[in-house]
Structure 1
Amino acid sequence: MKLGVSTFLTDRGIAPAALGRAVEERGLDSLLVAEHTHIPVHRRTPYPGGGDLPEVYYRTLDPFVALAAAAAVTERILLGTGIALVAQRDPLITAKEVASLDLVSGGRAVFGVGVGWNREEMENHGTDPRTRGRLVDERLRAIRELWTTEQAEFHGEFVDFDPVHSWPKPVQRPHPPIYVGGGEGAFPRVAALGDAWPANSVPPEDLGPQIDRMRTIAGRDVPVTVYAVSPDPESVERYTQLDVERLLFSLPTRPEAETLSYLDRLAAVADRFR
């Protein structure tokens, strides 16, 4: 069982380089960070977690700038998005950002993606929430072409470009792993475009049947990562009974001293299962 952390990096929490170094020093294997470009002040879309939207959602750093800072001071840990909002991202720019992160990190990038939940946020990017699933599928296909083809081109409903040169290419071959997030509605996207499925906050008693359904749809043993895991040892123990590749402990966004103390707690739990 591999164990890492997922978090929101903001201007009020620990700096990315300090966090990356601390995660690696404690023997954890990965750091995945959330993305929101902004949050509209007037919002109709309810927060999926219920109640008021936490401040961290509208203070997030750009994930690729932050992860590049972490890459510069680490050598081993995986560095990725958890998740990048592809419905709000230009595919040509995104392909270059992920490939650049993979290059500067020496092949340690993970591209975690999703369709997003905040309708007003995506509308500010010119995205129609009603068609965001098709849009994400097409952008992911275009990104893969840009990564894997010397003269890439793509012609679709939402993405259209004639042959282009797009460099750098990723260090990892054929490309950095794409972690396709979402619930059961996303399983066909996992099957078609994903290298792994990140299950978000799914309790262990519910996760086994979901993994079976996802893999049945995919027709293969897609690796599973679980986000936002509690550091409770009993809960971690239940996950170890399932066919899960990696657990990501949820790391609260706090100043450096508090974060380092919390990471010590996470590392102590992780040591029991490595």
Structure 2
Amino acid sequence: MAFKLGVLPVLGGRGAAEPAATAAFVRRLEEVGCESVWAVEHLVVPDAYRSTYPYDPSGRMSLGPGDDIPDPLHWLTFAAAHTSRLVLGTAMLILPLHHPVDLAKRLATLDVLSGGRLIAGIGVGWLREEYDAVGVPFAERGRIADEYLAALRALWTTIPARHHGRTVRFDGVHSAPRPTRPEGVPVMVGGHSPAAVRRAARFGTDFYPLGVDVEGLAGLLARLRAECAAIGRDPAGVAVTARAPATRADADALRELGVTRVVIRADPRDPDRVAETVDRYRHEILGE
């Protein structure tokens, strides 16, 4: 089975939102047959932080105050205008930092303008200082994310929409344009905690378990199957994405686990090198 191949642009320094380079980058991804492009989010980056980045042994993320981190939905809207087939994904929107009534409209608009190519990847984040800057309680982020997902679903799938929650309440409202699919914009849940697995079972069309090796992924997917069974859902309805494996053996193991998409990183400032990176990875690691 061939993986769907997604690409996450490497950010660093200035120029991540440079128009000509961005347009050339996404066009080249489409030309070489990549399935998707993914945009990260940080609303702010503090000068210093005490939070621990969970995806590197150093506990520090590679991005710093001097790096451009474009708004992912604006960046993907620009990417949509320069492509026709490329799937457009966020990896990840920090959901509790976005009011769901506003976000539902923004996501649906991008989905419609792109012809239904959007996947809304969401997570709860790890950077407490970013939550502090927005005034959202970090300790409540999981509960808020679950409520916001329920509110998004209501706004996308019911006419008129109604939601009465602890944080968000609305009744008899309409949000248009509506997403291209009756069930709403596809939602990818990111994370590797038990709460993220439960969230994926309840709300996700996709699951992206970040920060785990093949063995850890196998355990998470077993938990996902159990969570789906508990609510009467077929786990086959949740597609699984993984970070790009480093070896062909790992790629084969991911196939055995049912992973359908892998995401590699590429520098968007050199389109020719992007094509070389994709071709080499497909040949050397994926065996295609």
Asked if TM exceeds 0.5, the reply is yes
Cα offset for 1:231?
5.2
Alignment correspondent of 2:281: 266
- The DSSP-based 3-state class of the residue aligned with 2:159 is coil
Alignment correspondent of 1:197: 207
Q: Tell me: CA distance 1:180–1:64, structure 2 relative to 1, closer, same or farther (3 Å).
A: same
Alignment correspondent of 2:61: 53
> Once the two structures are superposed, what CA deviation does each residue of 1:80-130 show, in whole Å capped at 9, x if it has no partner?
101110011111221111111111110111011011100110121111111
Write the distance in 1 (CA, Å) between the matches of 2:243 and 2:215: 15
Alignment correspondent of 1:123: 132
Cα offset for 1:254?
5.1
Alignment correspondent of 2:175: 166
Write the distance in 1 (CA, Å) between the matches of 2:72 and 2:258: 29
Q: Which moved more, 1:196-205 or 1:100-109?
A: 196-205
Partner residue of 1:187 out of 189, 192, 197: 197
Partner residue of 2:153 out of 119, 144, 154: 144
Query: Aligned partner of 1:16: which letter?
Result: T
1:4-23 to structure 2, matched below 5 A, reads 4-8=6-10, 11-13=14-16, 15-23=21-29
- The DSSP-based 3-state class of the residue aligned with 1:27 is coil
Q: Is the 8 A contact 2:218 2:257 kept in 1?
A: yes
Query: Aligned partner of 1:53: which letter?
Result: M
Q: Is the 8 A contact 1:18 1:70 kept in 2?
A: no
User: Is it true that 1:210 corresponds to 2:215 in the alignment?
Assistant: no
Alignment correspondent of 1:42: 48
Task: Point out where structure 1 has 5 or more consecutive residues left out of the alignment.
Answer: none
Cα offset for 1:142?
0.7
Q: Which moved more, 1:7-16 or 1:106-115?
A: 7-16
Q: Is the 8 A contact 1:9 1:34 kept in 2?
A: no
User: Is it true that 1:97 corresponds to 2:99 in the alignment?
Assistant: no
- The DSSP-based 3-state class of the residue aligned with 2:115 is coil
Q: Which moved more, 1:87-96 or 1:13-22?
A: 13-22
Partner residue of 1:3 out of 2, 5, 20: 5
Write the distance in 1 (CA, Å) between the matches of 2:72 and 2:212: 24
Write the distance in 2 (CA, Å) between the matches of 1:20 and 1:35: 18
Q: Is the 8 A contact 1:100 1:168 kept in 2?
A: yes
Q: Tell me: CA distance 1:231–1:18, structure 2 relative to 1, closer, same or farther (3 Å).
A: farther
Query: Aligned partner of 1:93: which letter?
Result: D
- The DSSP-based 3-state class of the residue aligned with 1:200 is coil
Partner residue of 2:253 out of 238, 251, 255: 238
Q: Tell me: CA distance 1:244–1:170, structure 2 relative to 1, closer, same or farther (3 Å).
A: same
Q: Is the 8 A contact 1:8 1:60 kept in 2?
A: no
Cα offset for 1:21?
1.2
- Provide the identity percentage: 33
Cα offset for 1:47?
2.1
Write the distance in 2 (CA, Å) between the matches of 1:266 and 1:22: 16
Q: Is the 8 A contact 1:20 1:73 kept in 2?
A: yes
Cα offset for 1:8?
4.9
> Once the two structures are superposed, what CA deviation does each residue of 1:206-230 show, in whole Å capped at 9, x if it has no partner?
3223211111112231434334314
Write the distance in 2 (CA, Å) between the matches of 1:176 and 1:122: 25
Q: Is the 8 A contact 2:162 2:173 kept in 1?
A: yes
Q: Which moved more, 1:60-69 or 1:203-212?
A: 203-212
- The DSSP-based 3-state class of the residue aligned with 2:257 is coil
Cα offset for 1:61?
0.7
Q: Is the 8 A contact 1:9 1:33 kept in 2?
A: no
Alignment correspondent of 1:27: 33
